[in-house]
Amino acid sequence: MPQEANPNETGPERILSREEILSEIRSWCENFEIERELADTEGIYLLEGIDSENSKRYIYQRKGSFPVGVKKIDALKTTIIEEYLDDSYASTVADYDPETNRWVHQ
């Protein structure tokens, strides 16, 4: 007898390509330089870019728990964060919605 699918279970999280990540960051900042890019066997889990004026940093974080140097980053969502470098104020500017496969701007 076939087992019924559980509607509350979701499949594996879709891992975004490097170009998809860069495209979303470009929608917030056209000119930036990548400062740091970290990946595992599944793909990029952290990408940091700084704008050409050196005033803002854009940070992509994939959902999950990942090592970064001596600390770990834990992200409940796949997200893009904008950080102002003069005062370190940071806020989420976009979350990735795995159900629609689209970025939701905040």
Cα(67)–Cα(61) distance, integer angstroms: 12
Establish if 88 belongs to a structural domain. Answer: yes
Q: What integer is the mean pLDDT of 9-29? A: 87
Establish if 69 belongs to a structural domain. Answer: yes
Indicate the SS3 state at residue 83: strand
* Beta-carbon contacts of residue 54 (< 8 Å; ≥ 6 apart): 85
What domain count does the chain have? 1
Establish if 1 belongs to a structural domain. Answer: no
What 3 state SS string does 24-75 have? HHHHHCCCEEEEEEEEECCEEEEEEEEECCCCEEEEEECCEEEEECCEEEEE
Establish if 42 belongs to a structural domain. Answer: yes
Structural domain containing residue 34? 18-99
Tens-digit pLDDT profile for residues 26-82 = 999 999 999 999 999 999 999 999 999 999 999 999 999 998 776 788 889 999 999
User: pTM of this prediction?
Assistant: 0.84
Establish if 92 belongs to a structural domain. Answer: yes
